[in-house]
Amino acid sequence: MRIEKCYFCSAPVYPGHGMAFVRNDCKVFQFCRSKCHKNFKKKRNPRKTRWTKAFRKASGKELTVDNSLEFEKRRNIPLKYNRELWSKTVEAMKKVEAIKQKRQSRFIVNRLKKGKELEKAADISEIKKNIHLIKAPHAGQAKQLEDKMVQKLAEDVEMDE
Amino acid sequence: MALYNFKKIMVVPTAKDFIDLTLSKTQRKTPTVVHKHYQIHRIRHFYMRKVKFTQQNYHDRLSQILTDFPKLDDIHPFYADLMNVLYDKDHYKLALGQINIAKNLIDNVAKDYVRLMKYGDSLYRCKQLKRAALGRMCTILKRQKQSLEYLEQVRQHLSRLPTIDPNTRTLLLCGYPNVGKSSFINKVTRADVEVQPYAFTTKSLFVGHMDYKYLRWQVVDTPGILDHPLEERNTIEMQAITALAHLRAAVLYVMDLSEQCGHTLSQQLELFNSIRPLFANKPLIVMANKCDVRKISELSEENQKIIADLIAEGITVIETSSLTEEGVMQVKTEACDHLLAHRVNTKMKGKKVHDVLNRLHLAIPAKRDQKERPPFIPDGAMVRRKAMETDAPKRKLERDLEIELGDDYMLDLQKYWDLMNPDEKQDRIPEIWEGHNIADYIDPEIMKRLEDLEREEELREKAGEYDSEEESEDEEMQEIRQLASQIREKRKLKILESREKNTKGPRLPRTAKKVERGTLEKDMSDLGLDMTDKDDSHYAQRSRSLVRKRKREVSAPPTSRTRSQSASRPPRDQSGVRDAKMLKKVKVLMKGSQKEMNRQGKKGESDRHVFDLKPKHLFAGKRKSGSTSRR
């Protein structure tokens, strides 16, 4: 029993789900649902269909080359069952998975950092241009002027005295 | 080899069929329409084509017959003789000759009539010529009826002849009828020849095949031969004789010891001697058949002497019984060996051998050293061989286990697994974890790689890759963000407001709309200005007093009379009205007069517009495309 990968969107295909298509050149295509199957029949390129994993990896939106990704690889030579190797593998799998997740999220965060900076700059320029919509430029000036006059008067009075 | 083409001869149609076929073909495959008014060359061409087409068809078909049927001179003399025996060589050749003549005649007829057609000057003449030509061709063919029938029968019989290869290894069985030739062939090969107690059960040659020493052998069964001179032999016996004469085979002369065939041993010997000349240059074996009934030792004195004589002459005599299969194998091996030796000898004496011999070299490897190199038999095979021989008890099978346990039996194939630690055989192996296949991760070096990865991860953490950025920004940035979002919101609201304006109507100046004091003060205070006591500001005074307060300037031009008059005149809905009661009534009257207008949606008294509520082009008529189910 194996969990296959959907050819189109790279989602896991559990047993009992999806469809498989075998072409005349003996290449097998697994699909997770009819959406992917229909897209495939329409001859759409998964590397150009924005919602697929293939697109995301091809356009650099997700982590592609990393050591933690090298652990999961389809192996053609089966090994004989060996309890200790299997149990070690399961533990290793869990750790590798944790590391992989960390690295993938870090990659995405790094990618989005630039956006945050641009946001900040946009906010600042917005304020500079359109502050008049929420705050009148001469908002506190009357009071200031008054205060100044009062101060001046007080000074004058002082001076007179 | 013309041998195998006997089955591929085309069917010879009867004369009537042949004629019908060709004429209908002419009718179908040539143009059929011709008129009197066509140009004469066209008419001539039309009819000439028909004549030529018919001639071509006949010619092709007859030529095919002539080429398909084998020429007696070209095939192997065995078959030539056989066909002579069966079909009479002369008759056969005559029939084919007749066909040939017919073919030539047809060609000539066609040629003549085509030549004549060139001088046909009307449609009728040409048509008659064509009729005549076709008629003559068909008559010629009608005369060949007998030949065609005969050839068809020959073809059918030919295709059913057994395919005897005259050059390969053959064993030939001969003897009196009912001696046991067919039983022998049934025993030795897979042939299924009829065996019956009456004489001449076998009426033609039969072939069976058998294998010996990895070679294919033909065994030919013949009809029985009776002892009379050659001229008096009938067709059936002649087949046997032909086979004997032409096939280079080992001859098995079958004798019936028990004389159940109806002929004594001496008679059989007589026959043997009379056919003796046919056995020249052929390995000979005499089969003393039916020995289950009577053995040689049980024979009478004279008969035993006959047998002894035969043996003395150097002929192998073997006792056989087709029934009990005694001696059958012996006969087979002896005959085959003899024949092989004979064949090899003849080949050696021939000329072709030397070409082959020059190229052949028998290499006998000499021993390299004295080392013993016996054949290698693996232990398992030795054990199994011993077990087979001694019939030791076999290992316990699953089936035995199943029977033993009855209902409790569970098929557990995991116990046969060949693992490094046999006590792990009953483990349930995990295959999937959280959407990943465990099989994809298994690697003998996985622990090492994991360690490397973890080390790398530590280094990265130390380098500060995973430090979360300052999530708490300074207050300034937060304020900025908040302000920016407020600005954006305000802009959106303004945009929505401006969308609600009516841009299609009349564009009024800003002063036409009265600005409420409350909204003005509210908006300004939202913008941050101080609007607390503004009672004596310019906008808070009433508008009338505003007008009065404004001093008229000296340089201002005098206003017109109508203006000043209209300023002092009361409005129309108040002029002439004495009191409130009258005012009320007046109002009611006004409303009453307006009711009808309003109901009709008119703009005013002077609105005379007539609406076209049911335009004809929408409510009547057919549509050009589409249905009129909506109106």
pLDDT digits (tens, 9 = 90+) for A49-63: 999 999 999 999 999
The pLDDT value given to residue B321: 85
The listed range with the strongest mean pLDDT (B38-42, B302-306, B538-542, B571-575) is B38-42
To probe the interface with A, which of B426, B442, B451 has the most A CB atoms within 10 Å? Answer: B442
Name the residue among B420, B431, B526 with its Cβ closest to that of A80. Answer: B420
Task: Among B20-24, B259-263, B551-555, name the most confident range.
Answer: B20-24
List CB contacts of B209: < 8 A, sequence separation 6 or more: B189, B190, B191, B216, B217, B218, B219
Q: Place B483 in a pLDDT band, splitting at 50, 70 and 90.
A: very high
Is the pLDDT reported for residue B551 higher than 60? no
Do the Cβ atoms of B483 and A131 come within 8 Å? yes
B205: Cα within 13 Å, side-chain hemisphere: 31
**Best mutation target, B453, B471, B526, B533, to test chain A (most A CBs within 10 A):** B453
**Helix (H, G, I), strand (E, B), or coil: what is residue B93?**
helix
Contact A1 B435 (CB under 8 A): no
User: Using 50, 70 and 90 to split pLDDT, how confident is the model at B226?
Assistant: confident
Q: Averaged over A13-26, what is the pLDDT?
A: 96
What mean pLDDT value characterizes chain A? 93
> Which of A89, A126, A146, A147 is the best substitution to test chain B (most B C-beta atoms within 10 A)?
A89
Query: How far is residue A96's CA from residue A129's CA, in Å, rounded to a whole number?
Result: 50
User: Percentage of chain B with pLDDT > 90?
Assistant: 34
Total residues belonging to chain A: 161
Q: For A93, which of B418, B433, B456 is closest by C-beta distance?
A: B433
The pLDDT of residue A60 is: 94
More confident residue, A132 or B353: A132
Q: What is the pLDDT of residues B274-313, one digit of tens each?
A: 888 888 888 888 888 888 887 877 778 888 888 888 888 8
CB contacts under 8 A, A 38-97 vs B, are 67-68, 70-75, 78-83, 85-86, 88-90, 92-97
Instruction: Note whether A99 contacts B434, CB cutoff 8 Å.
Output: no
Model confidence at B610: pLDDT above 70? yes
Contact A80 B486 (CB under 8 A): no
| Predicted pLDDT at B440 | 93
Of B432, B449, B453, the CB nearest to A1: B432
Question: pLDDT higher for A141 or B30?
Answer: B30
Average pLDDT over residues B63-82: 89
With CA atoms as reference, the chain A residue closest to B478 would be A120
Window 393-422 of B: residues touching A by CB (8 A cutoff) are 417-421
State yes or no: pLDDT of B75 exceeds 90. no
Query: Tell me, what's the pLDDT at B270?
Result: 85
pLDDT given at position B2? 47
As a whole number, mean pLDDT of residues B182-210 equals 86
Average pLDDT, chain B: 86
pLDDT(B218) > 60: yes
Q: Which residues of A touch B431 (CB under 8 A)?
A: 1-2
Using an 8 Å Cβ cutoff, are B188 and B140 in contact? no
Which among B452, B459, B455, B462 is positioned nearest to A71, based on CA atoms? Answer: B452
Q: Which residues 6+ apart lie within 8 Å of B330 measured at CB?
A: B318, B320
Q: How far is B482 from chain A (nearest CA, A)?
A: 9
Q: How confident is the model at residue B550 (pLDDT cuts 50, 70, 90)?
A: low
User: What pLDDT does B205 receive?
Assistant: 87
B604 three-class SS: coil
Total CB pairs under 8 A between chain A and B: 134
Which 3-state string (H, E, C) describes chain A? CCCEECCCCCCEECCCCCEEEECCCCCEEEECCHHHHHHHHCCCCCCCCCCCHHHHHHCCCCCCCCHHHHCCCCCCCCCCCCHHHHHHHHHHHHHHHHHHHHHHHHHHHHHHHHHHHHHHHHHHHHHHHHHHHCCCCCCCHHHHHHHHHHHHHHHHHHHHC
**Structure-model confidence comparison of residues B567 and B590, the more confident one:** B590
Predicted complex ipTM: 0.82
pLDDT bucket at B471, cuts 50 / 70 / 90: low
Nearest CA distance, B338 vs chain A (angstrom):
58
Greater pLDDT, B107 or B514: B107
Query: Nearest-CA distance from B22 to chain A in Å?
Result: 49
Stretch among A57-71, A79-93, B536-550 having the lowest mean pLDDT = B536-550
More confident residue, B295 or B336: B336
Q: Do B524 and A139 touch (CB under 8 A)?
A: no
- Decide if B481 and A123 are in contact by the 8 Å CB cutoff: yes
> Which chain B residue shows the shortest CA-CA distance from A83?
B424
Nearest CA-CA distance, residue B483 and chain A, Å: 7
Supply the pLDDT for residue B1: 44
Least confident of B132-136, B388-392, B505-509, B519-523: B388-392
Work out the minimum CA distance from A101 to partner chain B, whole angstroms: 12
